[in-house]
């Protein structure tokens, strides 16, 4: 079907669903959305490989339609978000259901079923107990930060237990969206491969409450790594998603006029519990400490320190491929965020920087956003990678880009 016709059909369907719910529940129906254009151009000339979109790797136009509906008493609610995308860089057109769920609210519990985005943990762009799927292509290309998180088809139950809340999420597996050779350098073209996705659901638990003025939570999950482990040869590869169990906790509260965040977690690599399989990540301990504070009414600063400690490191070194450099046993990252607003908070300057202390690399994201009015804003920014080519950020050093995003809401 022609994309424009498909947009019209979906829009009519959203209106009909909203009208039906309004008649059935005598509640409210809200229809909204936005039109967005975004493009990113590489800063340096790295020499484009055949089949890639090198100089302007990202160039898309996106329309989002959103419907919110609910019963008059508020016990039943519906939310749907559908994106229609014209990817001019890849010459592709697509529609994606970003969120599509129904809520049932009771006095002692809530249930949400459908495609939804779940966010846990206290880190700022650093994730430990947030084990839910992410879109790293959107992040590295400069799309609005909301697109870092992917929706998954889930059933979420929130139980309100006196002063505590227990959240239970059961989900179908959704992989992270990772950079590939079409839009990133120097990623090689992937040979033919078979992908074995998990056939069983994932489950995640969170128990949260207050300890005085501090917000505390404990986490547990049984699922899978979201990046595949590759096995095979240069002609054909097999991609599998290894089992992963996690446990952890977080603590967040006031300190010296700001907010202190603490989080830790243990990643149990079930399919490589002894650390002897070179293609599967070893188990890890992860730690995070962060502090943020308002400096006046229009300035905010935040800093974080993060670490990953690999378990069974000697076994890892003995069994790793001799063709690659070994990972560090202790990987450390520091971040800083600075936000400053001007012109009655219509102009926002934001700077976020990662420094990989152990791997000697960095990733800096400066941006400047101007809100013309309540409905229209534009943002210009950059993604700048540097440092050791063997580090997580340094390996992307050929992908420095400048991006421009314009969004009009309705």
- Which of 268-277, 281-290, 337-346 comes out lowest in average pLDDT? 268-277
| 5 contacts: CB under 8 Å, gap ≥ 6 | none
Proportion of the chain above pLDDT 70, given as a percent: 89
Report, as an integer, the average pLDDT of 148-170: 97
Confidence (pLDDT) at 194: 79
Confidence (pLDDT) at 53: 62
| 24 contacts: CB under 8 Å, gap ≥ 6 | none
Query: How far is Cα 11 from Cα 84, in angstroms, rounded to an integer?
Result: 11
> Using one digit for the tens of pLDDT, what is the confidence trace for 96-115?
999 999 999 998 999 999 99
- 27 touches 69 (CB < 8 A): yes
| pTM of the predicted model as reported, rounded to 2 decimal places | 0.89
Q: What is the CATH number of the domain that holds 186?
A: 2.40.160.10
Does position 191 have pLDDT exceeding 90, yes or no?
Answer: no
Q: CA-CA distances (angstroms) from residue 374 to 12, 345, 395, 406?
A: 26, 12, 39, 13
**What is the 3-state secondary structure of the chain?**
CCHHHHHHHHHHHHHHHHHHHHHHHCCEEEEEEEEEEEEEEECCCCCCCCCCCCCCCEEEEEEEEEEEEECCCCCEEEEEEEEEEEECCCCEEEEEEEEEEEEEECCCEEEEEEEECCCCCCCCCCCCCCCCCEEHHHHHHCCCHHHHECCEEEEEEEEEECCEEEEEEEECCCCCECCCCCCCCCCCCCCCEEEECCCCCEEEEEEEEEECCEEEEEEEEEEECCCCEEEECCCCEEEECCEEEEEEEEEEEEECCEEEEEEEEEEEEHHHCCCCCCCCCCCEEEEEEEEEEECCCCEEEEEEEEEEEECCHHHHHHHCCCCCCCCCCEEEEEEEEEEEEECCCCEEEEEEEEEECCCCEEEEEEEEEEECCCCEEEEEEEEEEEECCCCCCHHHHHHCEEEEEEEEEC
Confidence (pLDDT) at 2: 44
Query: How far is Cα 392 from Cα 379, in angstroms, rounded to an integer?
Result: 26
Mean pLDDT for the chain? 90
- Which of 19-23, 54-58, 62-66, 339-343 comes out lowest in average pLDDT? 19-23
Report, as an integer, the average pLDDT of 350-368: 98
Report, as an integer, the average pLDDT of 64-75: 90
| 13 against 118, higher pLDDT | 118
> Using one digit for the tens of pLDDT, what is the confidence trace for 394-405?
999 999 999 999
Does position 164 have pLDDT exceeding 70, yes or no?
Answer: yes
Query: How far is Cα 165 from Cα 167, in angstroms, rounded to an integer?
Result: 6
Q: How confident is the model at residue 182 (pLDDT cuts 50, 70, 90)?
A: confident
Q: How many domains does the chain have?
A: 1
Does position 52 have pLDDT exceeding 70, yes or no?
Answer: no
Confidence (pLDDT) at 198: 93
Proportion of the chain above pLDDT 90, given as a percent: 75
Report, as an integer, the average pLDDT of 346-375: 98
Does position 287 have pLDDT exceeding 80, yes or no?
Answer: yes
Does position 299 have pLDDT exceeding 70, yes or no?
Answer: yes
Confidence (pLDDT) at 385: 97
> Using one digit for the tens of pLDDT, what is the confidence trace for 307-356?
999 999 999 888 887 767 888 999 999 999 999 999 999 999 999 999 99
Does position 19 have pLDDT exceeding 50, yes or no?
Answer: no
| 1 against 378, higher pLDDT | 378
What residue numbers bound the domain in which 38 lies?
A: 3-409
Confidence (pLDDT) at 51: 56
Within its chain, how far is the Cα of 215 from the centroid?
23
Confidence (pLDDT) at 1: 42
Query: How far is Cα 380 from Cα 400, in angstroms, rounded to an integer?
Result: 14
């Amino acid at each position: 079907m022609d994309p424009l016709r498909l947009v019209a059909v979906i829009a009519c369907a959203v209106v009909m669903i909203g009208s039906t719910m309004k008649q059935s529940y005598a509640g409210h129906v809200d229809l909204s959305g936005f039109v967005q254009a975004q493009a990113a151009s590489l800063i340096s000339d790295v020499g484009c490989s055949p089949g890639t979109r090198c100089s302007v790797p990202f160039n898309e136009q996106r329309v989002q339609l959103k419907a919110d509906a609910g019963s008059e008493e508020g016990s039943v609610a519906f939310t749907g978000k559908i994106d229609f995308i014209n990817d001019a860089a890849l010459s592709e057109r697509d529609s994606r259901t970003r969120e599509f769920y129904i809520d049932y609210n009771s006095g002692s519990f809530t249930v949400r079923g459908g495609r939804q985005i779940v966010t846990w943990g206290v880190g700022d762009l650093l994730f430990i107990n947030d084990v839910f799927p992410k879109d790293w292509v959107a992040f590295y290309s400069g799309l609005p930060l909301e697109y870092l998180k992917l929706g998954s088809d889930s059933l979420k139950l929130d139980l309100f237990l006196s002063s505590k809340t227990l959240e239970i999420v059961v989900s179908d597996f959704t992989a992270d969206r990772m950079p590939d050779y079409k839009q990133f350098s120097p990623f090689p073209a992937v040979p033919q491969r078979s992908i074995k996705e998990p056939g069983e659901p994932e489950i995640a638990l969170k128990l949260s409450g207050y300890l005085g003025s501090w917000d505390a939570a404990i986490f547990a999950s049984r699922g899978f790594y979201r990046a595949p482990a590759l096995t095979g040869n240069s002609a054909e590869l097999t991609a599998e998603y290894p089992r992963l169990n996690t446990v952890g906790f977080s603590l967040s509260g006031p300190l010296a006029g700001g907010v202190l965040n603490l989080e830790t977690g243990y990643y149990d690599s079930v399919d490589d519990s002894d650390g002897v399989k070179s293609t599967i990540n070893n188990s890890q301990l992860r730690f995070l400490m962060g502090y943020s504070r308002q400096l006046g009414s229009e300035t905010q600063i935040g800093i974080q320190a993060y670490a990953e400690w690999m378990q069974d490191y000697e076994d890892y070194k003995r069994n790793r491929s001799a063709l690659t450099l070994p990972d560090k046993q202790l990987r450390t990252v520091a971040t800083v965020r600075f936000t400053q607003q001007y012109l009655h908070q219509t102009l926002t300057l934001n700077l976020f920087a990662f420094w990989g202390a152990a791997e000697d690399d960095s990733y800096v994201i400066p941006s400047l956003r101007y809100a013309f009015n309540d409905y229209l804003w534009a943002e210009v920014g950059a993604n700048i990678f540097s440092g050791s080519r063997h580090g997580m950020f340094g390996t992307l050093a050929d992908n420095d880009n400048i991006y421009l995003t314009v969004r009009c809401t309705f």
